[in-house]
Amino acid sequence: MHEYSLVQAMFDQIGDVVRAQGAVSVRRVRVRIGQLAGVEPELFRTAYDVFRIKTFCAEAPLDIEPGPSDELTLEQLELEVP
Amino acid sequence: MCDSCGCGDSNVIPFEVHERILKGNDRVAEHNREHFKDHDVVAINLMGSPGAGKTAVLEATARALGSAADAVKVGVLAGDLATDNDAARIRAAGMIAESITTGSACHLDADMVHKGLHRLPWRTLDYLFIENVGNLVCPAVYDLGQAANVVALSVTEGEDKPLKYPTMFRKADLVPITKMDLVPHLPNIDVDRIEYNLSLVMPRPEVLRVSATTGLGIDAWIRWLKAQGRARGTACPTSAGAGLIA
């Protein structure tokens, strides 16, 4: 169940963006998970739903797009800015 | 005005990231890799199921190196959820070893390896084995800074393991098929079939049939290790050492 540690790494990554951009919250998260990434998209989503409670991503749906190889990337955020 | 998603919310802006989720791990892995290169250490990430025979292969490696240990120095970082058992076994076999106890984590990451290195005199080594947590899924995702991936697969695990866990075997540079001494007791296991299934998922299939118990294939394994050192222009054993362990 490495999906939890991956989501934790993604939250660190999102936190860096939120601080750098002075965002109030995140409204949407889009990731790409390749079919050879060794990551199960539904487990990743479950882990995300556990982690996001009471965080800047609390109201942010997660979009997962497939990829052909071993991609595992944070693609795009929608940020609420003041 | 947000014009990318059509939400119409004036305070919502799209922000392109396009970065690997494991970029933090990748950075530490690259740091480890530079350390290994600077000190001519060939690091091998040894993976496989729990009970695949990873530790037994390392014990056999220690025995094969035997009195040549001065010429070819090998050390081990052994990852497990709990206990120091594997490191203790490897130390008893004559190699230096330290444990990385992961608690509940199902894999090693680059930072755990980096911290583990602080407890091992790794700069003096020619080869460092990083014995990963027994698991055919999670360890494949994390770069540790290794020069090569070795995935041990025992004959008792079934012929179709490579097909069931393709991500792991796709990343393997070498698969030792272990516990070959048990084949006479396994009438339903066809080792050729295991090799065929590996060839379907490994980009460059390299397979060795070994038994840590009888010593079968251990000489070929040692030759493979030495080739890894030569390929990287490092860890080339002295001719005296090579003679002793050939």
Amino acid B195: pLDDT:
98
- In which domain, by residue range, is A76 found? 3-80
CA separation (Å) from B214 to B58, B64, B192?
A: 14, 12, 20
Instruction: Say which of B12, B21, B170 has its CB closest to residue A6.
Output: B21
pLDDT band of B235, cuts 50, 70, 90: very low
In chain B, % of residues over pLDDT 90: 75
What CATH number is given to the structural domain containing A40? 3.30.2320.50
The yes-or-no verdict on residue B69 having pLDDT over 60 is no
Measured between CA atoms, the residue of chain A closest to residue B18 is A75
User: What is the mean pLDDT of the segment spanning A56-69?
Assistant: 96
Chain A residues whose beta carbon lies within 8 Å of the beta carbon of residue B24:
9, 12-13
Q: CB A73 to CB B25 under 8 A?
A: no
pTM of this structure: 0.87
Amino acid B240: pLDDT:
34
User: What is the rounded distance in angstroms from the CA atom of residue A46 to the CA atom of residue B13?
Assistant: 26
The yes-or-no verdict on residue B67 having pLDDT over 70 is no
User: Is A10 part of the contact surface with chain B (CB cutoff 8 Å)?
Assistant: yes
CA separation (Å) from A66 to A7, A32, A63, B39, B165?
A: 17, 6, 10, 40, 19
Q: Please tell me the distance in Å from A62's CA to the nearest CA on chain B.
A: 14
Strand-pairing partners, residue B207, are: B175
Calculate the dihedral angle through the C-alpha atoms of B168, B170, B176, B177, rounding to the nearest 10 degrees: 80
Measured between CA atoms, the residue of chain B closest to residue A28 is B14
The yes-or-no verdict on residue B73 having pLDDT over 80 is yes
The yes-or-no verdict on residue B184 having pLDDT over 80 is yes
**Which runs of E-coded beta strand occur in A1-82?**
25-34, 62-67, 72-80
Chain B residues whose beta carbon lies within 8 Å of the beta carbon of residue A10:
21
The yes-or-no verdict on residue B234 having pLDDT over 90 is no
The yes-or-no verdict on residue B233 having pLDDT over 60 is no
Amino acid B245: pLDDT:
31
Among the listed ranges A25-39, A63-77, B76-90, B145-159, which one has the minimum average pLDDT value? Answer: B76-90
CA separation (Å) from B173 to B31, B168, B230?
A: 21, 11, 15
Chain A 49-78, CB below 8 Å of chain B: which residues? 70, 72-78
User: What is the mean pLDDT of the segment spanning B42-66?
Assistant: 93
Q: CB A1 to CB B138 under 8 A?
A: yes
User: Is B188 part of the contact surface with chain A (CB cutoff 8 Å)?
Assistant: no
| Angle, alpha carbons B132-B137-B143 (nearest 5°) | 55
Amino acid B231: pLDDT:
74
| Angle, alpha carbons A79-A80-A81 (nearest 5°) | 105
CB neighbour class for B60 (10 Å; exposed up to 12, middle 13-18, buried from 19): buried
Amino acid B72: pLDDT:
83
Among the listed ranges A34-38, B27-31, B51-55, B56-60, which one has the minimum average pLDDT value? Answer: A34-38
The yes-or-no verdict on residue B70 having pLDDT over 70 is no
Amino acid B1: pLDDT:
47
* Single-letter code of the amino acid located at B49: S
User: Is A27 part of the contact surface with chain B (CB cutoff 8 Å)?
Assistant: yes
CB pairs A-B closer than 8 Å: 91
The yes-or-no verdict on residue B127 having pLDDT over 90 is yes
Write the pLDDT tens digit of every residue in B190-207: 999 999 999 999 999 999
Place of tokens 């965002």: A23
User: What is the mean pLDDT of the segment spanning A22-47?
Assistant: 95
Instruction: Say which of B15, B106, B170 has its CB closest to residue A79.
Output: B15
The domain total for chain A is: 1
The ranges assigned to domains in chain B are 23-233
pLDDT band of B4, cuts 50, 70, 90: low
Q: How high does pLDDT run on average in chain B?
A: 88
Q: CB A2 to CB B106 under 8 A?
A: yes
Pick the CATH number of B23-233 from 3.40.50.300, 3.40.640.10, 3.20.20.70, 1.10.760.10: 3.40.50.300
Q: Please tell me the distance in Å from B7's CA to the nearest CA on chain A.
A: 10
